[in-house]
Chains A and B, each alone.
Chain A
């Protein structure tokens, strides 16, 4: 509401510096920078053992389970809630799926062990259970207005021990081979599949960039200069293809290949090699990251989640049903816990009692390191995934240089607090 002397249409926005011109999220840049520094430091420290295809492959598959749940935790924290039960919920889902595939399906329903039906049915059962438990907790929080901290703290005790009860405290296994292929090393896309995936992903990124620019031009909005677009396109597609190239450089050990040939009753040809490529579990994470990002940025659900986090009262006055929204958010987290349970138990090849222990704290830390504000309203999916990756690289890096686990935890704790402090300073400086 000011005087109307300025009649010009869309006055040019002044570009302050090169980053502003390229419209790059400086927080993202900071996180990538931190990640790169961690990698380089540990690589030097370990004498080049950190940045090998083998270690990067392991790092990736170790990150997946926490990263999947962290994408859901973003929604929870953005709406000013917290979920302390994700690790326990993962354990319950894992126990149910382990029992389903080793006992219920073969013994009660007569589906033979090794049948191709076992893995899909098991996963569907796990997802239903996870989603229902999540929705139930969301109902307690949204409709009965019990604080999320209490509901999920209770959930932490309940679901951890429900899992113990169901498996009678025992380790359950061996799990179905198809199911195991979702854990990491035993299920990868191979060289060709990985390259196809990489090219498709790079093409998709280019499509998004072109589409965004076209849409801006169509509405007569200012666009960034072409060279800026080209640099961004080059960096992202380069990163995608580089990642595929690294994973494609990790060769499956000859001993393991020989065993596989022997199992198939064939002789392994001389000099035969094969590479891992992108694991299925990473593919799952990519799909989830994509879907969750679309939900966050391009759907009404996502808009309402962020609006509620910014100002719950305003959201309610705009006609948003906040109670049901809370149910939906916690149901999403429950769903993601089930997916993580698939990946985690398949990676371990067993359901164990302590699966997912302390994961709730890792997941919250990943989201928070990734820039999700506990005061609500701010957070990104890619940030949470990067946060999970940063924490995992810190831990495995320290393990490689021989830091004992308790000291690792001390460092991770300090990094968490420091990351949030840096974020607070950043927000004050930029004013948003």
Chain B
């Protein structure tokens, strides 16, 4: 993607999300230790690191799944109070978890609207309306998707992924967290996700992309933050560093000489 990095770094206005000095520990283990990152509108921000580096924990603080011990989260420059997933949703933060977080026994529509069901005037869930909406968004995201009445346990990995993605996209997310969205996908489906990220980015969403694949991060992200042992190693502009630079950050915890953001 042809991005003007110079421009992006200099005049980006208020960040969409600013996480400042976030700390999170589980029984004495510092899962996230004084980490600060920010995300701008129209930016894809990679979050990298080994397993257990704390990337998923940091993201779960933002999505409300974990409560931070200290630190601040600012949304559009204002302090946000995120105590649970519902709060995060109210700030238009959507998260596609690595596990997809689908209720396997329910169908696609029930999963898409879980926690935000469409109801009839009598307050009963409106399955017809929800299915119609699901069909609409699926036509856009995955036109081959047809199994609207099967429980999602019966779907293929790619189909399940598209249910999880449609859930994030349907509710007009402003901030999208994707935790290894392509880990379980084939080549073609990975390309679909890449195209979708491009499309959402052009609509001005901010996307936090957790990934292991440095090559993919180079291709999709504008900036990348690397974490190691719960701490932030550094944040770089991906176009100004090499893949080896990023690998060095991940493995050795060593920042490159140029390209820091």
Contact = CB atoms under 8 A, between A and B. Distances in A.
A299 B123 contact: yes
Contacts of B104: 310-311, 377
Contacts of B106: 303, 306-307, 310
Contacts of A300: 117, 119, 125
Interface stretch (B40-48, B186-194, B205-213): B186-194
Nearest to B63: A317
Interface in B60-95: 63, 65, 84-86, 89, 95
A341 to B, nearest CB: 30
Contacts of A319: 84-86, 89, 115-116
B141 to A, nearest CB: 7
Contacts of A219: 128-129, 131-132
Interface stretch (A4-12, A135-143, A153-161): A4-12
A318 interface: yes
Contacts of B86: 319
B158 A2 contact: yes
A318 B85 contact: yes
Contacts of B146: 11, 13
Contact of B142 (A1, A216, A315, A432): A1
Contact of B193 (A1, A215, A221): A1
Given A2-B142, A300-B119, A303-B117, A311 B103 contact: yes
Nearest to A11: B146
B56 interface: no
B200 to A, nearest CB: 14
B154 A1 contact: no
A313 B142 contact: no
B153 interface: yes
B131 A221 contact: yes
B114 interface: yes
Contact of B189 (A2, A299, A311): A2
A110 interface: no
Contact of B114 (A10, A215, A298, A318): A318
Contacts of B55: none
A432 B150 contact: yes
Nearest to A295: B124
A353 B64 CA distance: 50
Contacts of B135: 10
Most chain A CB atoms below 10 A, which of B97, B105, B106, B119: B105
Q: How large is the interface on A (under 10, 10 to 19, 20 to 34, 35 or more residues)?
A: 35 or more
B220 to A, nearest CB: 15
B101 interface: yes
Provide the main secondary structure of the chain A interface: loop
Contacts of A3: 144, 188
B105 A310 contact: yes
Interface string A200-240: 00000000000000011011110000000000000000000
Interface in A102-118: none
A314 B153 CA distance: 14
A320 B128 contact: no
B143 A307 contact: no
A309 interface: yes
Nearest to A315: B103
A125 to B, nearest CB: 29
Q: How large is the interface on B (under 10, 10 to 19, 20 to 34, 35 or more residues)?
A: 35 or more
A1 B96 CA distance: 15
Nearest to A8: B143
B114 A303 contact: yes
A306 B103 contact: yes
Interface string A311-339: 10111111110000000000000000000
A219 B148 CA distance: 13
Nearest to A376: B105
Interface string A396-414: 0000000000000000000
Interface string A344-369: 00000000000000000000000000
A265 interface: no
Contacts of B129: 219
A311 B161 CA distance: 16
A41 interface: no
B102 A314 contact: yes
B188 A318 contact: no
Contact of A2 (B100, B103, B188): B188
B171 to A, nearest CB: 11
The 6 closest A-B pairs by CB, nearest first: A310-B105, A319-B86, A318-B115, A377-B105, A310-B103, A1-B189
Given A300-B125, A315-B114, A318-B115, 17 more contacts: A1-B161, A6-B143, A6-B144, A219-B129, A300-B117, A308-B103, A310-B105, A313-B101, A315-B103, A317-B95, A317-B97, A318-B116, A319-B89, A319-B116, A320-B115, A377-B104, A432-B154
Interface of B: 63, 65, 84-86, 89, 95, 97, 99-106, 110, 114-117, 119, 123-125, 127-129, 131-132, 135, 141-144, 146, 150-151, 153-154, 158-159, 161-162, 165, 185, 188-189, 192-193
27 contacts: A1-B162, A1-B185, A1-B188, A1-B193, A3-B188, A4-B144, A221-B128, A221-B131, A294-B124, A298-B124, A300-B125, A306-B103, A307-B106, A311-B103, A314-B102, A315-B114, A317-B65, A318-B85, A318-B101, A318-B115, A318-B116, A319-B85, A319-B116, A320-B114, A377-B104, A378-B105, A432-B151
